[in-house]
Amino acid sequence: RKEVEQDPGPFNVPEGATVAFNCTYSNSASQSFFWYRQDCRKEPKLLMSVYSSGNEDGRFTAQLNRASQYISLLIRDSKLSDSATYLCVVTPGSARQLTFGSGTQLTVLP
Chain contacts with other proteins (rule: CB under 8 A) = 31-34, 38, 41-46, 49, 87, 89-91, 94-103
First to last CA, the chain: 37
Q: How far is the CB of 61 from other proteins (least distance, A)?
A: 18
- For residues 48 and 75, give the distance between their C-alpha atoms in angstroms, rounded to a whole number: 12
Q: How far is the CB of 40 from other proteins (least distance, A)?
A: 11
Nearer Cβ to other proteins, position 22 or 38? 38
| C-alpha dist (Å) from residue 64 to 16, 40, 87 | 25, 27, 15
Nearer Cβ to other proteins, position 38 or 76? 38
What φ, ψ does residue 101 adopt, rounded to 5°?
Answer: -80, 175
Judge contact between 57 and 51, C-beta under 8 A: no
Q: How far is the CB of 41 from other proteins (least distance, A)?
A: 8
Nearer Cβ to other proteins, position 78 or 105? 105
